[in-house]
Amino acid sequence: MVTQSSLLPLVVVGLPLIGSGVVAYSARWGSRVRAGVANLISLVTLFLTVWQFILVQSGQILVYTLDWYVGFGLYWQVDFLSAVFVVIVALVWFLSTLFAVEYMAHEQQQTRFFVASIFTLGSTLGVFLAGDLLSFFLFFELMTFAAYLLVIHEESPEALKAGNVYLFMSVIGGLFLLGSMFFIQHIVGNTAFAPVLEQLVAAGLNPWWLFVVVILGFGVKAGMLPLHIWLPKAHPVAPAPASALLSALMIKTGAYGFLRFFYVLFSVAPGSELFYLQEAFGYMIIWIGAITMLGGALMALIHTPMKRILAYSSISQMGYILFSMGVGVMLGPDGAWGFAGAWMHMINHAFFKSFLFFLAGSVYLQTGELDLDRLGGLRKQMPVAFLFFLVAAAGITGVPGFNGYVSKIMIHDAILHAFELKGWASLLWLERVFVFTGGLTAAYISKIWIKTFLGKPQQDWSHIRDLSLGHRVVFGVYTLILLSIGLGAQAQVNQLVLPALGITSFNPVDVHYLQHIPFWDSHELQGPLISYAIAGATLLVQFLFGPYLNVPRWLSVEVLVYRPLYRGAKGFFQLLDTIALKLQRCFDRRHNRA
Amino acid sequence: MSILPFLIIFIPIIGGLLTMALKLEDKTRDYFVLAVTVITEFLVLFLYTILKDSTVVVLEYSRMLPPFGISFRIDWLSVVLVTIASTIWLLVTIYSFDYIKPSKNINRYHGFTLITLGATLGTLLAGDLVSLFLFFELMSFASYVLVIHEGDPQAMRAGFLYLIMTIGGGLAFLFGVMAVYQMTGTVSFTAGGFLASDSALSLGAFFGFLIGFGMKAGMFPLHVWLPEAHPVAPSPSSALLSGVMLKIGAFGLLRIIFNVYQFQFLKEVGWINYLLIAAILTILLGSVFAIMQTNLKRRLAYSSVAQMGYILLGMALLSEQALVGDVFHIFTHAIMKSCLFLVSGSMILLTGKTEIEDFKGIGKRMPISMACFTMASLSMIGIPPFNGFLSKWLLGLGALEVNQPLSAIVLLVSSLLNAVYYLPIVINAFFKQEEHDFSNITDPSPKMLIPVVVLAIATVFFDIIPVNVLLNLSEVTAATLFGGGLGL
């Protein structure tokens, strides 16, 4: 690896940030020019990121420093991890902008949407290219605030409410992150991505506090249970192109933060006394991931608005990523499989989730309807959308030959590998949770598919047309991506995952295994069958007993935890305010007498 | 050269008296006021030539006002603050011409604004406690006229509260001055301080200063006049009261901590902890009360209380890094808060409404003004890349440096509270449906818009420019107060 100073990452981040201003200015020449400029900027950004990827693939690490920024410096550092994900961000963003041209044509405030979208692109790229925590934090916050404009785009009371929850939870998450940065900067003297845990513990900090602070800092953005409550509110109310970006890419900044923290900042050399900490952190993360994926999937199953199901699905899929990441952290140098699974799933989820949100958007564009109970029978009117939905569903549920299969196999192998090494029975149970969640995933995706495209039409769909040519092209690109990862599984793993293992040092035996994953082994191929069997059983149960399985409204963290907290704080503030008012009245009486 | 401080102080004061005495025509008067303010600003910039190659210049005029005489102390702290004060004053004056037009007593308003400017600059340049006291009182009484400008019962009531608290604070300050003179026989500021006596009188003097300046700085529990007086004043005056004059209290305490007492001594005997506790309470309670306010300017005023808490905290920590953040936050808060008050002034003037709820949808009618408001708000919360982040970052690191993690946590909590009371204003203005008819409302005239835009750009400019003048000045100031060398 050669460290090479390069302006490229600065340009990659700066182009969309400044370009958003150009988009705003171009609006005066009409909507076509504006859309053209937005597309051009995201396309050029895509080319630049690909160029950057090629440079990094040839063994360079690109760095750039603006050392005057706030007296502490702004750092860009592009290693393989950053370079890969940045290409994915730029690619999905470009497809989203392309998709948005038609989708947004009838919406209000289109200029604001495109400007905010392109600005958010720049800040999201900045998050992945940041070379230290301070720079990371800068772009993280910029992204939070810029994406707020996407969330509340409709300006309906519902959207504003969702936007508030999103904004305040994000701000709280950001402050936890800032808190951890205070301590790291103070004790270490910089916030670079380098192992710091030993220094922090030596300085007298309680490592478990640090763990909690970091988990809370990134957990909000990553949609981790029980910090997820903003996500199923905020993602569905945004326009579909933005929902796709929020769900597919922006929540990944949380996962990426976890990757950097737990594989780099909090990693400990295996011989060290503190290795038990890394192991414990990893084990906790596996559990958090398991709870998140199961909880998200269950909630996805009981809802009927399509985009809300997809949002809960994102929570569940983030659970997969955390789960696998936890395995890798727990095993330390033997954790290559877990890391590889998490990384591959981050990439795959970015594609199939944005694909699904775009499809939901297409259905909405034609029917004006997103609730599954009021859709149905669209197969005849939208045959092409029907087929594309099958492709996306195959991707997320892990049908062999599509991309989800690849990462699910890797995660499954990782947890079994952990069980082999550790022999803890709990790990075997966690494996079962994983398999069961896979089944639930297939169930809720099938539910969307069945209730939207099959069955009897609930309304008169005769005026409905199928996908436009532009959208067919976008979805065609997605199909190609899903299939190329799914069919060329080993080649993609070799190309996208193995170089990323350089983030920390892994055992070569495991790396060797990753070069020869038995994707087409009959044992592995059983996985999807089990998933679909569980899905079938689940749907049957829901169909037969659904009306009796009402989940009470109070059974949610929002009602049980967040609202009492909010009311408590409000009550306390009101009490203080009343006391102050009473004192003021005393003064007034005196003044009137005087 | 030695006449420069006199010119800086007395040109605006005489200008103010002339404004009232001459009763010029409206337009001529406006040009006259502007000319006086601009000249003062230029003279202030000349101070840098005096200070070019020394850390401090002391000018004494013992013939005047015997037995103490008047003296001026030109060091980095005073020069830096004089610059920010006169610059904000200039921008606010430009804004105020159109704002004050519909009001009555315009001559009085401009006259007393100029007198207050002179007195403020005098306070900042004062070289000993007695001169400081003199200008401090002049400033307090001159600004009373600004507070009660509207003349309605609410303003008079607030003005009364302001007046009695100012007098009380002034007496406490005077007691401190007398006690210091009794103990040491001198009242002149000295680098590194001259008082390190652990006696009851010394403690009493310290409390006298704490009350006198803490009252001016809006320190809890002496802040009660502030949320009454700032909102009733005309908005440009609110901007000056909150943006500049509150800082005088902070400046006074800096002088007391570093140039009267020896700060090492204050740390050893633990007296500084009284300030620390008051600062933490000021931050938290100021924010809590700000959340409960429904009136726009009252919310901004309580926010000033909380932000002054940051500044008091920064000096109470007695760490050099925190002090850099502290001085930087004095700049930052002056910029942000005057921007916020000026924008709310435009909103109130154009719509006639004062409640936050009434401003739904105004952002679409006044996009530039509200965009500026948004930038200043984000800076208040401390979001990068705005100035507020830099001061919060430096203050937090400074708190850890002296092993006060609790203070760093208070900073984080208060950032959240800031978000809770600033973001709804912005969200209301931009994204909620209009309830009142704002169809004939647009951004105000250039005279009222340009100062706001300049201030808003400054909230982000001083975080991202390559050569951060303000940060460098803050570093130099902190270094000289801690007795270090000149490192510009």
* Same domain membership, residue A388 and residue A340: yes
* Same domain membership, residue A488 and residue A441: yes
Q: Are B71 and B131 in contact (CB under 8 A)?
A: yes
* Same domain membership, residue A364 and residue A248: yes
Is residue B142 over pLDDT 50? Answer: yes
Mode of pairing for the β-strands spanning B70-75 and A60-66: unpaired
* Same domain membership, residue A442 and residue A349: yes
Q: Are the Cβ atoms of A584 and B378 closer than 8 angstroms? A: no
pLDDT in the model for residue B67: 67
Is residue B343 over pLDDT 90? Answer: yes
Q: Are the Cβ atoms of A163 and B464 closer than 8 angstroms? A: no
Least confident interval from A273-277, B35-39, B143-147, B179-183: A273-277
Q: Which domain holds residue B353?
A: 271-488
- CA angle at A200 for the pair A197 and A203, rounded to the nearest 5°: 150
Least confident interval from A121-125, A271-275, A391-395, B19-23: A271-275
pLDDT in the model for residue A191: 84
Distance of CA B457 to the CA centre of its chain: 19
B400 contact A CB<8A: yes
Buried b (16+ CB within 10 A) or exposed e, A159-171: bbebbbbbbbbbb
Q: Are the Cβ atoms of A591 and B160 closer than 8 angstroms? A: yes
* Same domain membership, residue A145 and residue A283: yes
In order of A72, A154, A170, A319, the CA distances from B409 in angstroms are 21, 36, 18, 30
pLDDT in the model for residue A521: 81
Distance from the Cα of B368 to chain A's closest Cα (Å) equals 14
Positive/negative CA dihedral, A285, A286, A289, A290: negative
- Token readout for B116 is 């207050």
Q: What's the domain count of chain A?
A: 3
A244: nearest Cα among A105, A137, A95, A108: A95
| B118 located within any domain | no
pLDDT in the model for residue A587: 67
Q: Are B291 and B421 in contact (CB under 8 A)?
A: yes
- Tell me the C-alpha distance between B71 and B54, whole Å: 18
Q: Are the Cβ atoms of B378 and A142 closer than 8 angstroms? A: no
Under DSSP, is residue B58 helix (H, G, I), strand (E, B) or coil?
strand
Q: Which residue has the higher pLDDT, B298 or A588?
A: B298
Q: Are B91 and B455 in contact (CB under 8 A)?
A: yes
* Same domain membership, residue A414 and residue A330: yes
Q: Are the Cβ atoms of A175 and B412 closer than 8 angstroms? A: yes
Is residue B485 over pLDDT 60? Answer: no
End-to-end alpha carbon distance in chain A:
81
Mean pLDDT to the nearest integer, A377-394 = 86
Chain A contacts of B390, Cβ < 8 Å? 70-71
Is residue B486 over pLDDT 50? Answer: no
Q: Which domain holds residue A459?
A: 132-551
What is the pLDDT confidence band of residue A71, given thresholds at 50, 70 and 90? low
Q: Are A42 and A122 in contact (CB under 8 A)?
A: no
pLDDT, one tens digit per residue, over B256-297 is 998 888 888 888 888 888 999 999 999 998 898 888 888 899
A45: nearest Cα among A84, A98, A9, A82: A9
- Tell me the C-alpha distance between B479 and B244, whole Å: 23
What is the pLDDT confidence band of residue A580, given thresholds at 50, 70 and 90? confident
Query: Among residues A102, A131, A160, which one ends one of the domains?
Result: A131
Under DSSP, is residue B56 helix (H, G, I), strand (E, B) or coil?
strand
Alpha helix positions (H), B218-269: 226-232, 235-240, 246-255, 263-269
pLDDT, one tens digit per residue, over A246-297 is 998 999 999 999 998 888 888 887 778 888 888 889 999 999 999 999 999 9
Q: Are the Cβ atoms of B419 and A185 closer than 8 angstroms? A: no
Mode of pairing for the β-strands spanning A60-66 and A74-78: antiparallel
A473: nearest Cα among A16, A94, A111: A94
pLDDT, one tens digit per residue, over A106-163 is 888 888 899 999 999 999 999 999 988 889 999 999 999 999 999 999 888 888 989 9
Distance of CA B287 to the CA centre of its chain: 18
Most confident of A25-34, A168-177, A379-388: A168-177
| B443 located within any domain | yes
Q: Are the Cβ atoms of B427 and A164 closer than 8 angstroms? A: yes
Interface test with B, best of A70, A150, A181 (most B CBs within 10 A): A70
| B323 located within any domain | yes
Interface of B with A in 251-290 (CB under 8 A): 285, 288-289
Is residue B76 over pLDDT 50? Answer: yes
Interface test with A, best of B298, B412, B469, B473 (most A CBs within 10 A): B412
Mean pLDDT to the nearest integer, B40-63 = 80
Is residue A69 over pLDDT 80? Answer: no
Query: Among residues A113, A131, A149, which one ends one of the domains?
Result: A131
Q: Residues near A398 by Cβ (< 8 Å), separated by ≥ 6?
A: A404, A405, A408, A409, A438, A441, A527, A528, A531
* Same domain membership, residue A148 and residue A66: no
ipTM confidence score:
0.88
pLDDT in the model for residue B65: 66
* Same domain membership, residue A573 and residue A424: no
Average pLDDT of chain B?
87
pLDDT in the model for residue A127: 93
Alpha helix positions (H), A58-103: 80-103
A352 contact B CB<8A: no
- CA angle at A548 for the pair A542 and A550, rounded to the nearest 5°: 85
Q: Are B418 and B381 in contact (CB under 8 A)?
A: yes
Q: What's the domain count of chain B?
A: 1
Query: Among residues A77, A112, A131, which one ends one of the domains?
Result: A131
Edge-first strand order for the sheet with A60-66 is A2-5, A60-66, A74-78
Average pLDDT of chain A?
86
Under DSSP, is residue A65 helix (H, G, I), strand (E, B) or coil?
strand
What is the pLDDT confidence band of residue B337, given thresholds at 50, 70 and 90? very high
| B199 located within any domain | no
A446: burial class by Cβ within 10 Å (0-12, 13-18, 19+)?
Answer: middle
| B465 located within any domain | yes
pLDDT in the model for residue B459: 87
* Same domain membership, residue A404 and residue A301: yes
pLDDT in the model for residue B66: 65
| B176 located within any domain | no
| B453 located within any domain | yes
* Same domain membership, residue A191 and residue A112: no
pLDDT in the model for residue A332: 82
- Across the interface, of A577, A584, A588, the residue whose CB is closest to B292 is A577
* Same domain membership, residue A157 and residue A60: no
pLDDT in the model for residue B484: 59
- Across the interface, of A172, A186, A591, the residue whose CB is closest to B397 is A186
| B359 located within any domain | yes
Interface of B with A in 144-183 (CB under 8 A): 157, 160-161
